[in-house]
Structure 1
Amino acid sequence: MLALSLAAVSAAPATPLQSATVSVLATYALFAVFLSFTAFLAARNLLGDVSLRRHALVGPPLAAIAFLAATFEFPPFLALAAALAVDAAAFRYLHDLDRRLLAGVVLIHFVVSVILGAVLFSLVALISSAPG
């Protein structure tokens, strides 16, 4: 009896709110993974051999800042300043860098994120506009 009722619940169609929630959470998770990966690339570029696993801490707070800024319509420069400050704090925590090297890693992380994001967005737009 319990198995039958659980099957009926799981087979129920998703409401628009549930679909929207899943979409937002999936977008947040993908953006956090993307930012963690670009943080790893930036650190590897300047610092040499670094752990990918440690840089998984960098992406989620940056993605949260982006989502909160978009949701509450914060000024873009305020959101960018907050993201750069959190990024610098994360890299300082992970690697204990001096200010000059820290600024270089944060700048490279910003540049790599923008360039790779633009390339991936363009690729998705190109593929989605293909005929057939």
Structure 2
Amino acid sequence: MDVLSLQTATDGAPITAVAGTFALFALFLSLTAHIAARNVLGDVEVKKAFAVGPVPAAIAVVFTTFQLNSFLALALAIGFDFGLVKFLYGQSNRLSAYVVFIHFVVSVILGVVLFGLAVILSTAPV
């Protein structure tokens, strides 16, 4: 099974695929937000990361669904990420920006690794 068939294989309505994509992406971004906050701030509550993750995921899904400018989506997602980190963790602008930068880096690195793993596994003989 190749990556394309994984993306187009839906048994239900398209809304189910969009909702599933949003839920998985929000969970992924929550995990990476917690990793970033924990590495920068030390011991932090996991529930705060679950408030951070869904917002950039929602922005990504909406902008992708309506084929809007991806650079604007990225800027908006990082801006909201910064606002949520600053509000939820109560840190200075500089420390909040550092958490958001680490969140971005961890998300990119983990995303590339997981996607690469998915591609490698999809090419494995059956």
User: What TM-score does the superposition give when structure 2 sets the normalisation length?
Assistant: 0.87
1:120 matched to 2:117? The reply is: no
Alpha-carbon distance between aligned partners in 1 of 2:68 and 2:17, rounded to the nearest angstrom: 22
Q: Per-residue deviation at 1:111?
A: 0.5
Q: Per-residue deviation at 1:21?
A: 2.2
User: Within 5 A, what are the aligned runs for 1:87-102?
Assistant: 87-102=81-96
Matched residue, 1:69: 63
Matched residue, 1:4: none
Q: 1:32 aligns with which of 26, 31, 40?
A: 26
Q: Per-residue deviation at 1:20?
A: 2.4
Ranked by relative contact order (alpha carbons within 8 Å, sequence separation 6 or more), the top structure is 2
Alpha-carbon distance between aligned partners in 2 of 1:116 and 1:126, rounded to the nearest angstrom: 15
User: Within 5 A, what are the aligned runs for 1:10-49?
Assistant: 18-49=12-43
Q: Per-residue deviation at 1:95?
A: 0.8
Alpha-carbon distance between aligned partners in 2 of 1:71 and 1:116, rounded to the nearest angstrom: 23
Matched residue, 2:48: 54
Query: 1:130 is paired with a residue of what secondary structure?
Result: coil
Say if 2:32 and 2:106, in contact at 8 Å, map to a contact too.
yes
Q: Per-residue deviation at 1:17?
A: 8.2
Max radius of gyration: which structure?
1
Q: Per-residue deviation at 1:26?
A: 1.1
Structure 1 alignment gaps of length 5 or more: 1-15
Say if 2:33 and 2:103, in contact at 8 Å, map to a contact too.
yes
Alpha-carbon distance between aligned partners in 2 of 1:128 and 1:18, rounded to the nearest angstrom: 23
Alpha-carbon distance between aligned partners in 1 of 2:11 and 2:123, rounded to the nearest angstrom: 28
Matched-pair identity in %? 50
